[in-house]
Chains A and B, each alone.
Chain A
């Protein structure tokens, strides 16, 4: 299975709201910790190592400014 990079979330604005709401009122440290938990939860849900590897590479490319 390939990494889906076309829109796949119904009601994207609604999802974005919920994402920010989950972080509301948290310190920077708490936000980092929440994100780390979220990554692990989502990664386990996806389970497919090829998809996960592609997602990691895509995210990493952002950090290296090579997009």
Chain B
């Protein structure tokens, strides 16, 4: 396995651009501000669709620290569509066993066996800089193939002026400032979003009064590839909870919950960090400290993700606690949701109102993520005597009684949101399995050759299973794929039937470019499919 450390600097070094010498601000159809995971996924997606995109980032590479380490299945599926998925899975650590301890005692152990018939595992562990650098590599490859995409490092956006037909931004560089004009601007500039601040927009929510110390250590000691989580850890100075989790390159994420009133500088003193880590791992284990950091967290969101021609995505739009790995994973779903909409609007194939559905759908997703993350936090850091009492009761019962294990919440793993009942979501006239209902992301299934999700390639698709696709003549002018499968030929394991038909003998599904189901029918007239398609691009149904 490749043991080189994650690349830190100069993935996209500053270089002078002709735009900086232009007499008038150069015009770009889409500018993405921020080359974090969200901005990169969005930009690559747009470029792969052929929509020109310019990425501006104030740094010149992924920056320091492992940060996010858990990437969920939905992220891997999105990455597969972009051609990066296999690379992530090969480098990442796949784990399935988790152990929960209370003090010295193991409360229980779980095994998240991979779900049968999915190409991707439930999640992998991988340092965020790898994720970002693989995306940059994919962007470079796309560039080499002529895709209209450019990343400018060392370009800090310092001013923004929204206008009726475009957005004017001021960019600071080592060669001085210049200005650019964008028809659409995606603000993917992270939790402290400068753009949010410049536009005077709020970021409401809750701050949790707690500090977590991260120590990423490199060691070759023989710890199993498992997730170990302690409530009231028994080792000295570990705080109220602790976590040990494996990353690639023999690096382990250790996390200690320190409480609110701490002296940050003192806690980050390497000697003090080492004392804590020694107490946890045992004094005889040798290791290097790779990265240490103290973080506090908040659950916040913007009231609106769309402000005219400016669209907020990722941490800039919403923030959650790290428990459940919902930060990067949900931001990447934002990008997946926004890319095809921005592409259709930029080409004039869909009305601007389609972008309101981005704000609607991802706003609902943010609420769901914040709810889950808040609940996990409330379990981890009981805020009242009753909360402590019940938490201890749950941990106590969980040793012997399976029912109590489901109440233990050290973070619910990030799952994709279902857009139930939202504006673009169409009718459910199948009586089929709930997991593939309209609004849900299509569920993977093995076919005779390859996997189903590989066949849903980023365009609207009519999927027929044991059914015929009617002649569609009144399409609203957007590309449409047709995919006809039969269970007798294409469904070697029965998963396709179980996931898409249930008891129904046949089905027609309309699937969006981001693989979410629009609508499904036992049988549909051309008019039914055409009107669901129109509604799904916000063309007044």
Contacts and interface: CB of A to CB of B under 8 A. Distances in A.
Q: Do A and B come from one complex?
A: yes
B396 to A, nearest CB: 6
B379 to A, nearest CB: 13
Interface residues of B, number: 11
A32 B389 contact: yes
B392 A36 contact: yes
Interface of B: 389-390, 392-394, 396-397, 401, 403-404, 407
A36 B392 CA distance: 9
B389 A41 contact: no
Given A40-B394, A40-B397, A41-B397, A33 B404 contact: no
23 contacts: A32-B389, A33-B389, A33-B392, A33-B393, A33-B396, A36-B389, A36-B390, A36-B392, A36-B393, A37-B393, A37-B396, A37-B397, A39-B390, A39-B393, A40-B390, A40-B393, A40-B394, A40-B397, A40-B404, A40-B407, A41-B397, A44-B403, A44-B404
Contacts of B396: 33, 37
Interface of A: 32-33, 36-37, 39-41, 44
A32 B384 CA distance: 14
B467 to A, nearest CB: 38
A40 B389 CA distance: 11
A36 B396 CA distance: 10
Contacts of B407: 40
Contacts of A41: 397, 401
Nearest to A34: B393
A22 B401 CA distance: 19
By Cβ-Cβ distance, the 9 closest A-B pairs, closest first, are A36-B393, A44-B403, A37-B393, A36-B389, A36-B390, A40-B393, A37-B397, A32-B389, A40-B397
A41 B397 CA distance: 9
B103 to A, nearest CB: 15
A44 B407 CA distance: 11
Contacts of B392: 33, 36
B239 to A, nearest CB: 23
A37 B407 CA distance: 12
Nearest to B386: A36
